[in-house]
Structure 1
């Protein structure tokens, strides 16, 4: 499948379905048909409207939609989203609230590079911007990155995080969501050895596969079943002629979306069928619950082939992070070198992607960190999305994370500590 023709064929099919939807909507909405009302035409127009929007959103990067913020003074302050560091594969962006005093907590929110844009964390950013200076890793769509920019694998990703942490300084609190949790832990350990003065104050890991084998899920089982050769042959394609990254090897976003949808095909099918009925009855709107969710869910980005393949091989199959054998730029990273960065793990009891046990494994790896600087929390009844963007995050997890930051707002002197078992109890 590693041909431009395959990539362009997928884009052609997407474009064709978008065109069919627009054509059906336009034809069925032709004014002359109003003289003889027909339910079939109403359905056709509704189907066309939903179909056009669905396929159009697949290639559109969502907007952050965070334009103003109401501060304690009762005034709406404009929010500027400015790039602090610009790199070929991703930027470090700052959500600056104009006219507001700088907040005491400076937070680096590490977004996943797992098929969706960083805007998937929009609600997380909104909740943190209330009383934090928020910075986010805004990863770029690989299809828009010229081949001349070179490769990007797990080591490059880790090095990007190291550079972002250095840029923000040692008074930073880092929150890694889902996929980047193990690499963020590695980046922190790398700094602990190479540049201790640049280490963050605290590190919060949310629902990440630090040790995928701790509690196997369908995702980790898939990584075990297939070989690297099978993955490369069936999942990797070259970007077609339409985009700047023409010729770059990627795991296409449209292919990823197919996998996402197939996991809950019946539920998605019902959601779109119900939406067509709502459009027919005039009950749908541009920003109703269906469109708000699927405008984000359907917006997918291509992933660099090297990053996808190295993630599967090194994080999931070989478990280099879990075994404390990860290497960055020829340097073996030792998680035990983390001695004065407070580490907290957050997991969802009902998480079927990164199940409880996978993330808390990070605490056992931090053998040089005293128990007083370790904490963990398992949120009852919460799934994967809920622990960083749903009600569980807003009502329960966010207050715990803020308290954890406050408790570790100052650096404690470095001291050698004997290896201790991880603190498995829920802590602030």
Structure 2
């Protein structure tokens, strides 16, 4: 029962706020109040609408909602999802574009397991689908996974990537976003020794903490300040009776969300006050900018306790990837064994989560890789989100990544549109 009461208390608070919002919305919408010319009822209705939506979204996995993909045949092709590999803690998901010839670029997009669902990369998926046969790692919410499924830590995460790459074959190009960057690098090195024929052709690492000490941030400083015992005491709880994973030790999504919001509390408060004002004045819409962003941002998932704790201890504190000392299933993974997979890093100059220097460190660790197989790009003025889903991604980074993929696809693949751009930031 230890930690379970706290988990259920958080869920009770969330549920209560959702109920209060629904009640305020229902009361403020009561027809009789329309006879009373008092703006307070309009504001109560607006507060209720925004509050109910906010707290309800916290427990809902967003839909992919991928729009049809246009093509050269002047038709829009519908997109569906297909599970290629099904596992307890995550699936390999394929985006199937109906009635379209399969593109030669086969891309595996490795989504982070850092509090949000893989749907956080929806805009990234939409931008890549016209030009790639796209797959993604779709991680499951730990609260929905029975204890009987066992543990899931960073070694298990790495082995999941290994299995997915074996399934996809050697003509795959990997794009790892944020948290999984060091583990995608480790999975590639693991295959280099254990199953060389299953290695991907290229590996693009975007804003990931390969060497967190290269450029300290508030995130890395927090990892240094607290002990593992303090983290376990403060952050870890047991899933309550409401979910299939009852009893599983997790880092709850609601607790993660409170941390996310506290980092920019003033900005979020202003956004919600403005949204309530717009609703009260009749200027808000179902799919306006606020709702599109917060419907995704507020949808959080629980992480297994062992994954969260092993990430902090082994990636951030012990720097096992940065020191090339990472061990998977009792076997040391040597990053120097990567000799044929082209590696590119992407960073944002204003990234306050994985600051410039943390990701590009991967190139120095690939000691067995020739320089012509290495590339890096620093996007000026871009923050963390912008380098994989924002304007910087769409305008600058995406074309460079596609060119890099083409340049390392083999003779039977399409030629890069701009050869120079793919490696213009080649690392020394």
* TM-score relative to the length of structure 1: 0.96
Q: Does 1:337 align with 2:343?
A: no
In structure 1, the residue matched to 2:27 is: 27
Q: Distance in 1 between matches of 2:249 and 2:236?
A: 6
Q: Distance in 2 between matches of 1:3 and 1:119?
A: 29
Q: Distance in 1 between matches of 2:93 and 2:138?
A: 7
For 1:134-213, what aligned pairs fall within 5 Å after superposition?
134-213=134-213
In structure 2, the residue matched to 1:290 is: 290
In structure 1, the residue matched to 2:89 is: 89
RMSD of equivalent CA atoms: 1.3
1:79 Cα deviation (Å)? 1.1
SS at match of 2:212: coil
In structure 2, the residue matched to 1:271 is: 271
Evaluate the alpha carbon distance shift between residue 112 and residue 81 of structure 1 in structure 2; reply closer, same or farther with a 3 A threshold. Answer: same
In structure 1, the residue matched to 2:406 is: 406
| Aligned pairs, number | 417
Evaluate the alpha carbon distance shift between residue 88 and residue 411 of structure 1 in structure 2; reply closer, same or farther with a 3 A threshold. Answer: farther
1:154 Cα deviation (Å)? 0.3
1:75 Cα deviation (Å)? 1.1
8 Å contact 2:372–2:426 — kept in the other structure?
no
In structure 2, the residue matched to 1:73 is: 73
In structure 2, the residue matched to 1:363 is: 363
8 Å contact 1:2–1:233 — kept in the other structure?
no
For 1:348-359, what aligned pairs fall within 5 Å after superposition?
348-359=348-359
8 Å contact 1:2–1:236 — kept in the other structure?
no
Q: Distance in 2 between matches of 1:147 and 1:72?
A: 49
List, as ranges, runs of 4+ consecutive aligned residues in structure 1 with deviation greater than 3 Å.
Answer: none
In structure 1, the residue matched to 2:389 is: 389
In structure 2, the residue matched to 1:117 is: 117
1:410 Cα deviation (Å)? 1.7
1:4 Cα deviation (Å)? 1.2
Q: Distance in 2 between matches of 1:200 and 1:410?
A: 12
Evaluate the alpha carbon distance shift between residue 17 and residue 392 of structure 1 in structure 2; reply closer, same or farther with a 3 A threshold. Answer: same
Q: Distance in 2 between matches of 1:48 and 1:97?
A: 40
1:131 Cα deviation (Å)? 1.0
In structure 1, the residue matched to 2:420 is: none
Q: Distance in 2 between matches of 1:354 and 1:216?
A: 8
Q: Does 1:426 align with 2:425?
A: yes
Q: Does 1:127 align with 2:137?
A: no
Mind listing any 5+ residue stretches in structure 2 that lack a counterpart?
413-422
Q: Distance in 2 between matches of 1:157 and 1:64?
A: 23
In structure 2, the residue matched to 1:415 is: none
Evaluate the alpha carbon distance shift between residue 338 and residue 259 of structure 1 in structure 2; reply closer, same or farther with a 3 A threshold. Answer: same
Q: Distance in 2 between matches of 1:68 and 1:378?
A: 32
Q: Distance in 2 between matches of 1:407 and 1:287?
A: 39
In structure 1, the residue matched to 2:417 is: none
* TM-score relative to the length of structure 2: 0.96
SS at match of 2:170: coil
Mind listing any 5+ residue stretches in structure 1 that lack a counterpart?
413-423
**CA-to-partner distance for each residue in 1:237-288, whole Å, 9 max, x for gaps?**
0000000000000000000000000000000000000000000110001100
Q: Distance in 2 between matches of 1:427 and 1:135?
A: 27
Moved more, 35-44 or 325-334: 35-44
SS at match of 2:214: coil
8 Å contact 2:347–2:378 — kept in the other structure?
yes
**CA-to-partner distance for each residue in 1:106-150, whole Å, 9 max, x for gaps?**
000000000000000000001110110000000000000000000
1:427 Cα deviation (Å)? 3.9
1:395 Cα deviation (Å)? 0.2
Q: Distance in 2 between matches of 1:271 and 1:305?
A: 32
1:225 Cα deviation (Å)? 0.2
Q: Distance in 1 between matches of 2:88 and 2:72?
A: 38
8 Å contact 1:17–1:52 — kept in the other structure?
yes
1:69 Cα deviation (Å)? 1.7
Q: Distance in 1 between matches of 2:258 and 2:380?
A: 30
Moved more, 389-398 or 66-75: 66-75
In structure 1, the residue matched to 2:236 is: 236
Q: Distance in 2 between matches of 1:328 and 1:200?
A: 19
In structure 1, the residue matched to 2:346 is: 346
